[in-house]
Amino acid sequence: MSKKEVSTDQLITTILEGIEEVKGQNIDLLDLREIENMVCDYFIVCNGTSNTQVAAIVNSIQKTVSKKLKDKPWHVEGMQNAEWVLMDYVNVVVHVFQKHIREYYDIESLWGDAKVTSIESNY
């Protein structure tokens, strides 16, 4: 039985819905396709206000993607302390930070060659 192929655009849209469902903040989409030797096509970066909200964002993304697309992350890392959780959906990698951790690592500037699109929140 083969798994239905999920498009990257569908996956991104669904991940964004999961983030917005629990009011994730400062959502950026980094397009990495023009950068050589990248392991994925996109990063989605957002932050929450506490480890509780970071965990809620991660859970919301997993539930939304699972329900709508019947897909799950290949790997999730960082849930123990929920300061920086990485969710690997192969073509799309999601980074969910606590605000101060995001500011400290500033991964958007590490990928300065990426095209960054800030996602406007509906709240």
Distance in angstroms (rounded) separating the CA atoms of residues 30 and 21: 21
pLDDT confidence of residue 1: 33
pTM for the structure as a whole: 0.92
23: CB partners within 8 A, 6+ apart: 53, 121, 123
Q: How far apart are CA 19 and CA 21, in angstroms?
A: 5
What the block records as the tokens of 86 is 């990485």
pLDDT tens digits for 20-56? 999 999 999 999 999 988 889 999 999 999 999 999 9
For residue 5, pLDDT beyond 70: no
pLDDT at residue 120, rounded to an integer: 85
**What's the confidence (pLDDT) of residue 3?**
47
In the chain, the amino acid numbered 54 is V
Domain coordinates in residue numbering, the chain: 8-112
Q: What is the CATH number of domain 8-112?
A: 3.30.460.10
Q: What is the pLDDT of residues 57-112, one digit of tens each?
A: 999 999 999 999 999 999 999 999 999 999 999 999 999 999 999 999 999 998 88
Strand 84-88 versus strand 25-31 pairing type: unpaired
